[in-house]
A and B are shown apart, each in its own frame.
Chain A
Amino acid sequence: MTALAAPPAVRTVGLEKRFGSHPAVAGIDLEVPAGSVYGFLGPNGSGKTTTIRMLLGLVQPTSGSIELLGSRVPERVVDALPRVGALVEGPAFHPYLSGRDNLFRLDVVDRTADPATARRRVDAALDRVGLGPAAGKRFRAYSLGMRQRLAIAGALLTPKDLMVLDEPTNGLDPQGTREVRSLIGSLADEGATVLVSSHLLSEVEQVCTHIGIMHAGRLVTQGTAADVRGVRETQARIETDQPREAARIMRELGLTEVRASPRGASGRLGSVAPEKVVTACVHAGLSVTRYVVDAPLLEDIFVSLTGEGFDVSG
Chain B
Amino acid sequence: MADTTTSGVAAADTRAVRRPSPRFLGSELRLIFRRRRNQIGLLALAAVPVFIAVTVRTTASNPGADAPDFFRSITDNGLFVALSALTIELGLFLPLAVSVIAGDSVAGEANVGTLRYLLTVPVARLRLLVVKYVAVVVFAFAATLTVTVTGMVVGLALFGGGTLTTLSGTQISFADGFARVLLASAYIALCLASLGAVGLFVSTLTEQPIAATIATLFVSATSLILDAIPQVAWLHPYLLTHHWTAFGGLLRDPVTWTDVAPGLYVAAAYAVVFFLAAWARFAGKDVTS
Contacts and interface: CB of A to CB of B under 8 A. Distances in A.
B126 to A, nearest CB: 10
Given A53-B287, A191-B6, A113 B116 contact: no
B114 interface: yes
Contacts, number: 141
Contacts of B18: 111-112
Interface in A76-124: 77-78, 81-86, 88-97, 104-106, 108-115, 117, 121, 124
Contacts of A190: 6-8
A78 B18 CA distance: 11
Interface residues of B, number: 41
Interface stretch (A157-165, A244-252, A284-292, A296-304): A157-165
B257 to A, nearest CB: 40
Nearest to B288: A59
B1 A7 contact: yes
Contact residue range for chain A? Answer: 35 or more
B121 A191 contact: no
A192 interface: yes
A109 B27 contact: yes
A96 B32 CA distance: 12
A119 to B, nearest CB: 12
A14 to B, nearest CB: 19
A70 to B, nearest CB: 8
A161 to B, nearest CB: 5
A34 interface: yes
Q: Which of B6, B35, B114, B123 has the most CB of A within 10 A?
A: B6
A159 B14 contact: yes
A106 B14 CA distance: 14
Contact of B27 (A108, A121, A160, A161): A108
B105 to A, nearest CB: 14
B31 interface: yes
Given A113-B15, A124-B8, A192-B4, A78 B26 contact: no
B120 A81 contact: yes
B5 A96 contact: no
Interface string B251-277: 000000000000000000000000000
A115 B23 contact: yes
B118 A93 contact: no
Interface in B89-130: 112-114, 116-124
A39 interface: no
A58 B6 contact: no
A201 interface: no
Nearest to A54: B286
A212 interface: no
Contact of A58 (B1, B24, B35, B120): B120
A190 B26 CA distance: 34
A59 B11 contact: no
Given A53-B288, A111-B18, A95 B118 contact: no
B44 to A, nearest CB: 19
A42 to B, nearest CB: 18
CB-CB nearest 9 A-B residue pairs: A92-B113, A190-B6, A81-B122, A159-B5, A191-B4, A111-B18, A192-B6, A58-B287, A108-B27
Interface of B: 1, 3-16, 18-19, 21, 23-24, 26-27, 31, 35-36, 112-114, 116-124, 284, 286-288
9 contacts: A82-B121, A84-B120, A90-B113, A91-B113, A106-B117, A114-B15, A117-B9, A128-B7, A161-B5
Interface of A: 6-7, 34-35, 53, 56-60, 77-78, 81-86, 88-97, 104-106, 108-115, 117, 121, 124-125, 128, 151, 154, 156, 158-161, 187, 190-193
